[in-house]
Amino acid sequence: MKIFNKKYTSDGNRLIRGFSLVESMVALVVLSVGLLGVARMYVYSLQNGRTALLNSQAVVLAADMADRIRANRTAGNDYAGGAADFACVDGGVDCTPTQMAANDLLVWRAEVANALPNGVAFVAVNVATLPTTFVITVLWNDTGSALPSQYRLTVQI
């Protein structure tokens, strides 16, 4: 009696089982390409998340300056001037509205520089319009961009 170790189908053909090396390599290449695509999408989402965070910070910083201008309306035109440290944040120091505007600019520009990469900001005042128009501009460098990103807020007070 012969013992057969090979399995056959009902029609007598030999049953082939398993994978060949070529099939395994093709499956590995397809899986690798898929994983590379997933990794690229992850990196892309991280970059877009960082860009969104920087945009949000710029919006908050510009709104902060708009609130500072609203709180010190009598010195509105002085917000286009230079920044100076008059220590106006201390409760015991009496500052004029002009000094408060210069101090606000100093503090605000420091916040912009700390919150945004290479962040700079300035305020332009147009007194020819009624009500007075303030254009608050925040600039920063975003990763992968040749030109600086900017956010501009126009406020009429």
pLDDT in tens, 99-150: 999 999 999 999 999 999 999 999 999 988 889 999 999 999 987 778 999 9
Residue ranges of domains in the chain = 21-156
Q: For position 144, what pLDDT does the model report? A: 74
Q: For position 92, what pLDDT does the model report? A: 54
Tokens linked to 135:
């254009």
Q: For position 85, what pLDDT does the model report? A: 85
Question: Which DSSP state fits 45?
Answer: H
Residue 91, pLDDT > 90, answer no
Q: For position 122, what pLDDT does the model report? A: 95
Reported for 77-80, long-range contacts at CB under 8 A and 24+ positions apart, including other chains, are: 77/125, 77/127, 77/132, 78/102, 79/104, 79/105, 79/123, 79/125, 79/134, 80/122, 80/123, 80/124, 80/125
Rounded CA-CA distance 76/79 in Å is 6
Residue 8, pLDDT > 60, answer no
Rounded CA-CA distance 3/11 in Å is 19
**Phi, psi angle pair for 48, to nearest 5°:** -65, -35
More confident residue, 87 or 2: 87
Q: For position 128, what pLDDT does the model report? A: 87
